[in-house]
Amino acid sequence: MQAGPAHVLVLDDSRAQRRLLATLLRRWGHPVTVCETPGDALEALTDHSISIILTDWMMPGMTGPEFTRAFRRTPREGYAYVILLTSKSEKAEIAHGLDAGADDFVSKPVDPHELRARMRAGIRIIEMQRELVWQNQRVRSTLAEIRGLYDALDRDLLEAKRLQDTLVRERFRQFDTGSIALTLRSSGHVGGDLIGFFPIDATRIGLFSLDVSGHGVTSALLAARMAALLGTAAPEQNVAMVQKRGGAWDALPPDRVAAKLNRMMFEEIETDLYFTLALAYLDLTTGAVQMVQAGHPHPAVLRPGGAVTWVGEGGMPIGLLEEAQFDSVTFHLEPGDRLMLYSDGITECENRAGEEFGEDGLAALLRRTAEDQGEALLETIVTAVQDFSGRTEFADDVSLVAFDFTGPSAA
């Protein structure tokens, strides 16, 4: 920013002219540096506080345009405004001086009013240039600060992703009558999908797939809250579990769990977010399944012959309407059946033509991968959907829970 009157350098081989110009400039309040030769002027201009140069055109050894060209080649902080003092009036000569790097010219003999007016114009340009430099410095400083904040946030998000990955404690579990495999891929650093399973009693387990609305940190925080309520083996901490008389633990019906979570969303959590949920209780000995579907995609059952059955009745998401009602449905798995819970990041995944993968695509994929097992099965499904999208990153979180029921005969 400009501080005080502009510092002016006067370059002229005429002592009388130097004295005249210096007297005028000092009278106008300017600090003045007076030089007789271009060499002296170039050395004096290492003082970067000089912002205006008045130079004669005709000087022994170096002309005003030659001096200006030499000056413009020297490194310098900030801009200096060069005014040529000349008796030349030909347009070609004036153009030559401007091409050499001069900014303006004043005809000799110098008229004080004209000189002062042209200097004021130069000062305005210099002040605008300094203001621009100052603003650019502020922008660079702000960008550097933002970059630092972004890097810190990026580190925090990477750590949050690692922590979120720990919410899915087990990716595979073998039971006497079947096995369960789980996978979760966030579309960003963190996501709003959650999957898991928990023990109910000696013969039953609960498995769930949950998808919070929106993306990013807020969705991930709500998913983490739900993990503390559902994704825990400690029955006293699991919202689905209730202690009976005598101290034994049992699970609330799935529809009552959904209703309980819905009340919590309005009475305790108080957020504009909502989530979809598929919560299923599976009897490991009989294959009986009791399930609530709260706005989540219809779970799929792949039969040994290749038929795919979609189970559930839809239902309202949790946290969307305070008066929402939820219903449980029941069905059976037969030996050889595969139950698949998944988020809409699978079926709503679009390719570059805007076409969705859809339930038909998932059904065909389940049939193609019928012989695959465990985590390798889910990796194959995720890769196939990724190939369909034609992109390296998913637009939405993708999560899968697969339970293969082999039946009691395998015990």
More confident residue, 285 or 409: 285
Contact 182, 401 (CB under 8 A): yes
Token output for 301 = 């059952």
Average pLDDT of the segment spanning 85-105: 85
In a domain? residue 158:
no
> In this structure, are 192 and 110 located in the same domain?
no
C-alpha span between 237 and 333 (Å, rounded): 29
Domain boundary among 92, 121, 136: 136
pLDDT in tens, 9-31: 999 999 999 999 999 999 999 99
Beta bridge partners of 211: 193, 276
Residue 240 has pLDDT above 70, yes or no: yes
> In this structure, are 231 and 348 located in the same domain?
yes
Which CATH number is 272's domain given? 3.60.40.10
pLDDT in tens, 296-320: 999 999 999 999 999 998 899 999 9
Residue count (the chain): 411
Residue 221 has pLDDT above 50, yes or no: yes
Average pLDDT of the segment spanning 56-62: 90
How many helices (H) does the chain have, and how many strands (E)? 10, 18
In a domain? residue 248:
yes
pLDDT of residue 132: 87
pLDDT of residue 91: 79
Which CATH number is 93's domain given? 3.40.50.2300
Give kind and range of the element (H or E) at residue 258.
Answer: helix 254-264
Query: How many domains, in total, are found in the chain?
Result: 2
Residue 411 has pLDDT above 50, yes or no: no
Token output for 111 = 């008229």
> In this structure, are 334 and 186 located in the same domain?
yes
Domain boundary among 121, 136, 151: 136
C-alpha span between 116 and 271 (Å, rounded): 67
Greatest alpha-carbon span in the chain: 117
CA torsion 140-146-152-153 (nearest 10°) is -150
> In this structure, are 124 and 57 located in the same domain?
yes
> In this structure, are 87 and 183 located in the same domain?
no
**DSSP E strands, 39-121:** 50-56, 81-86, 104-107
In a domain? residue 268:
yes
pLDDT of residue 159: 64
pLDDT of residue 410: 44
In a domain? residue 379:
yes
In a domain? residue 189:
yes
Residues 294, 256, 200, CA angle at the centre, nearest 5°?
100
In a domain? residue 71:
yes
C-alpha span between 368 and 389 (Å, rounded): 18
How many CA atoms lie within 13 Å of 244's alpha carbon, on the beta-carbon side? 7
DSSP character at residue 39: H
In a domain? residue 145:
no
SS3 18: helix
> In this structure, are 309 and 379 located in the same domain?
yes
C-alpha span between 401 and 196 (Å, rounded): 8
Give kind and range of the element (H or E) at residue 174.
Answer: strand 172-175
Average confidence score pLDDT of the chain: 89
SS3 408: helix
Contact 290, 330 (CB under 8 A): yes
pLDDT of residue 117: 94
Residue 231 has pLDDT above 70, yes or no: yes
C-alpha span between 353 and 132 (Å, rounded): 46
In a domain? residue 229:
yes
pLDDT of residue 304: 94
Q: Which of 213-217, 262-266, 382-386, 399-403 has the lowest mean pLDDT?
A: 213-217
pLDDT of residue 1: 47
> In this structure, are 101 and 182 located in the same domain?
no
pLDDT of residue 87: 82
Beta bridge partners of 181: 172, 402
Residue 2 has pLDDT above 90, yes or no: no
pLDDT band of residue 180 (cuts 50, 70, 90) is very high
pTM over 0.85: no
Tokens 């920013």 sit on residue: 1
112: left (phi over 0), alpha (psi -120 to 50) or beta: alpha
> In this structure, are 117 and 172 located in the same domain?
no
Average pLDDT of the segment spanning 39-66: 92
Other CB atoms closer than 10 Å to residue 146's CB: what's the count? 10
> In this structure, are 274 and 361 located in the same domain?
yes
> In this structure, are 56 and 171 located in the same domain?
no
Residue type at 102 in one-letter notation: A
User: For residue 271, which of 204, 208, 217 has the smallest C-alpha distance?
Assistant: 217
Token output for 314 = 């839809």
Give kind and range of the element (H or E) at residue 182.
Answer: strand 178-185
> In this structure, are 108 and 35 located in the same domain?
yes
> In this structure, are 81 and 174 located in the same domain?
no
Residue 3 has pLDDT above 60, yes or no: no
C-alpha span between 195 and 178 (Å, rounded): 18
Average pLDDT of the segment spanning 362-388: 93
pLDDT of residue 395: 85
Q: Which domain holds residue 170?
A: 166-410
Residue 78 has pLDDT above 90, yes or no: no
